[in-house]
Amino acid sequence: MNDTWPPPPLPPPPGEPRRTPWQPGPHPQAPLPTMPPTTVETGPDWLAQRLLDQRIVALSGRLGPAVVNRATASLAIIDASGDDPVELRLCDVDADLDDTLTLLDALDLVSVPVHATCVGGLTGAAVALLAVADRRVAGARAVLALREPRMQTSGHAADVEARAEEHRRRLRLLQERLATACRRPLDEVAGDMYTGRILTADEARDYGLIDAVAGERRRHSPARR
């Protein structure tokens, strides 16, 4: 018995030609191309673009530097893209003193009218974002809390005192803007912020923070039959 290793290749089945290294076997057929599934674009970037197209700047929740920077840029883009009003939508917004003053400066730079609408509520310094607009509307169940924004107190005594003095100065600027917008005495606004006065939508209208309550016509009109 003559054993060889490796064993010789088996002969091809009958009817199939013998192939050599120069005549490789056929490649498997490529799969047919498939069309990608149809998707609907969603997500924050898509929503932000749609809002920009509609000349809307929407703010909600606790505002931080990143949100404020983006809102400032959005206001500049909308202002440069046409003469129609900017729609500022505020929903349960809270903001510290510095972020609010930054947004107030951005609103002052807008050359077109600003129409602000509040739903849910506004707390602290964020109330000024609604009050300074050219047209101001709040939802019927909105709550506006006049409250002094607090400052962080840590570090050396001299540093804390310097920051406290700067905080008081900037707080006074905010109170002056609110007093002017509401046409109320500065000391009254400052006192209400110190005590943390809370206003319903109707009370905010009487106070001068807003011009109208959304849905007033429907609320006061006779019921439909």
**For the chain, what is the HEC assignment?**
CCCCCCCCCCCCCCCCCCCCCCCCCCCCCCCCCCCCCCCCCCCHHHHHHHHHHCCEEEEEEECCHHHHHHHHHHHHHHHHCCCCCEEEEEEEEEECHHHHHHHHHHHHHCCCCEEEEEEEEEEECCHHHHHCCCEEEECCCCEEECCCCCCCCCCCHHHHHHHHHHHHHHHHHHHHHHHHHHCCCHHHHHHHHHHCCEEEHHHHHHHCCCCEECCHHHHHCCCCC
In a domain, 32, yes or no: no
In a domain, 4, yes or no: no
Tell me what pLDDT residue 42 has: 40
In a domain, 191, yes or no: yes
Domain holding 107: CATH number? 3.90.226.10
Which range of residues forms the domain containing residue 105? 44-219
Tell me what pLDDT residue 224 has: 44
Residue of 17 and 192 predicted with greater confidence: 192
Is a pLDDT exceeding 60 seen at residue 28?
Answer: no
In a domain, 64, yes or no: yes
In a domain, 35, yes or no: no
Alpha carbons 190 and 172: distance in angstroms, whole number: 8
In a domain, 1, yes or no: no
Contact predicate 54/87, CB 8 Å: yes
In a domain, 7, yes or no: no
Is a pLDDT exceeding 60 seen at residue 16?
Answer: no
pLDDT digits (tens, 9 = 90+) for 158-182: 777 888 889 999 999 999 999 999 9
Domain count for the chain: 1
In a domain, 207, yes or no: yes
What's the average model confidence in pLDDT over 147-154?
Answer: 78
